[in-house]
A = this chain, B = another copy of it.
Amino acid sequence: MRRIALIGFGGVGQAFAAVLAERGEDLRREMGLDARIVAVSDPFKGAVYQEGGLDLRALSACVREKGSVDAYPEGPGVVRGLDSIATIQETAADTIVEVSPTLPGGEPSIGYCRAAFASGKHVITSNKGPAALGYAELSAAAKAVGAYFGIEGTVMSGTPSLWLGKAALAGNRISEIRGILNGTTNYMLTRMEEGLEYDDALGEAQQLGYAEAEPSSDVDGHDAQFKIVILAQHVLGVPLRLEQVQRTGIRDLTRKDVEAAVRAGSHWKLLARVEVDGSEVRASVGPVRVPSADALASVRGALNAITYQCDLMGPVTLVGAGAGRQETAFALLADLIRIEQRAATGRSLA
């Protein structure tokens, strides 16, 4: 049995619990994965722990109806009010699913991951901070205790972009990764091709919940910058710091620019790129006019896409959702499945 503690019980955490509730029986039957959520701890929604596994339907009903897990029914072994660190260190959970609200510097997520590895527990996170800023330290800490550091959800949500590059294409030499890794800006650029001005496209993205009220993370390329740093470290195995990524956003692009490109047979895209050339690593995020023949040119709306340039295979491109609660919940599940496979084996699969 795999015992999970959820650190953070916002939209993604709740979606993950819902997926496990809905297909737990199938996962047991089809893959031998018996996954129980034994604890949740969230600064806003409270904390509850039950060693044998929480009743996921009761848990979700509490949060839906009361906005808190405090109303979770009494039962054998129910413990309330453990903070996140205590939940990580003191419960019987063997796997920490870290989906807490986190700050741009990566805390408190990085600290949670560190505490989990120090306790010999696996970590799965969809927060970019630990994967981008803490990668070297945390992957070494995981390795030292034989734990798994699952970060599939940090790039393209559940679209298996990291696994493709690191596991499925292993055996190739990858010279370049390029991708549309931010759905908000791709949505905006698509709408600008359809005739919207920049401000209207941004307003629409905000209304749809794609962009924040303060949209800098998306439109200035910060989000994509984090993701290319993750890809460089995790897939290519090269150290790369945020400040080494040349970054330009899309604020200076106008509807006229975008339309002119289309008339000339190309599409403005916010591309994140990293190239390896011998010992040299070059990385950038910025708007690029992508010719129509490139598989990335036709990726429209909020979709994401990534191209691995491989020596044996040439370009291999994966296109799929880049965000979404359910999609991110699937990323967490995918890492959980890999932990289970690894546990049966004692060997890293990725």
Residues of A within 8 A of B (CB): 19, 23, 27, 31, 158-160, 163-164, 168-172, 292-293, 295, 297-300, 303, 312-321, 326-327, 329-330, 333-334, 337, 341, 344-347, 349
Contacts and interface: CB of A to CB of B under 8 A. Distances in A.
Contacts of A320: 313-317
Contact of A313 (B168, B321, B337, B341): B321
Nearest to A332: B171
Given A23-B171, A317-B318, 15 more contacts: A158-B312, A159-B313, A160-B168, A160-B169, A171-B337, A292-B298, A293-B300, A295-B299, A295-B303, A312-B326, A314-B321, A319-B319, A344-B347, A345-B345, A345-B347
Contacts of A164: 160, 164, 168, 318
A172 to B, nearest CB: 7
16 contacts: A19-B312, A23-B171, A159-B316, A160-B164, A160-B169, A170-B334, A171-B330, A171-B333, A295-B298, A295-B303, A298-B298, A313-B327, A316-B319, A317-B320, A319-B319, A341-B347
A192 to B, nearest CB: 16
A347 B160 CA distance: 22
Nearest to A32: B347
A330 B172 contact: yes
Contacts of A31: 170
Contact of A27 (B171, B293, B330, B345): B171
A159 B169 CA distance: 8
Contacts of A316: 159-160, 318-321
A313 to B, nearest CB: 5
A19 B172 CA distance: 10
Nearest to A159: B316
A64 B238 CA distance: 38
A334 B316 CA distance: 15
Nearest to A295: B319
A327 B314 contact: yes
B312 A330 contact: yes
A262 to B, nearest CB: 12
Contacts of A318: 164, 316-319
A297 B171 CA distance: 30
Contact of A297 (B298, B315, B334): B298
A168 to B, nearest CB: 4
A330 B311 CA distance: 10
Contacts of A327: 312-314
A53 to B, nearest CB: 19
Nearest to A300: B293
B346 A329 contact: no
A327 B327 CA distance: 31
Contact of A170 (B171, B292, B297, B337): B337
Nearest to A347: B344
A349 B228 CA distance: 28
Nearest to A163: B168
Instruction: Identify which of A31, A299, A341, A344 gathers the most chain B CB atoms within 10 Å of its CB.
Output: A341
Most chain-B Cβ atoms within 10 A of its Cβ — which of A312, A314, A327? A312
A345 B297 CA distance: 42
Given A295-B319, A347-B344, A168 B170 contact: no
